[in-house]
Amino acid sequence: CDDFCAFCIIPHLRGPSVSRPTAAILEHARALAAAGYKEIDLTGVHTGAYGMDLATPTTLLAMLEQLVRVDGIERIRLNSIEPATVSEELLDFIAASPKICQHLHICLQSGDDDILRLMRRHYDVASYERLITNVMRRMPECGLGSDMLVGFPGETEAHFERTLRVVERLPLSYLHVFSYSARPGTPATKYPGQVH
């Protein structure tokens, strides 16, 4: 991931984003299918940014359009995607594909705009809610998951309550909830208002 969110050490430790070439993904999928596997999960730190770093840039959608043609693979599941990378075209493709699971894990992190800004996230609550509404309009039975980070520096009870209300009104199937923990070298460690 190249986003450098205020709480995350990943870009500092792993370096710039690295995508596997599409040909390597297709070869791996064919090998899995030949071994009898029927479902594959596409994982990564920033799956939606797939292909931007390749010598010939591509997109997650372009890779998926090829991956669904691999014989023997019946189900493809996407894991952890950032809100800004969920395009209309990607949603249309997922909704129309019998192979891609109607399951999206779209990270929210906080339901409060002030905290999202402090986190250096690239969206606000209203745009996230519009995205989820858009997903559900296209795929009413879509399983939706999200990541939440609680106890971020500066988070007050009011910020937490706003997050709770957002979570209560969204049609989320599950949450991955993490308590903030300081990662040396990240900006958030220096923020005032560290939460016990």
Is-contact 78 104, C-beta < 8 A?
A: yes
What's the confidence (pLDDT) of residue 75?
97
pTM for the model stands at: 0.91
What value does the mean pLDDT of the chain take? 94
What's the confidence (pLDDT) of residue 44?
83
**pLDDT tens for residues 3-22?**
777 788 887 777 778 899 99
**pLDDT tens for residues 87-112?**
999 999 999 999 999 999 999 999 99
Is-contact 48 7, C-beta < 8 A?
A: no
Residue 86 pLDDT greater than 90, yes or no: yes
Residue 37 pLDDT greater than 80, yes or no: yes
Q: What are the residues facing 174 on neighbouring strands?
A: 145
Percent of the chain with pLDDT over 90: 85
For residues 55-83, give the mean pLDDT: 95
Strand, coil or helix: 122: coil
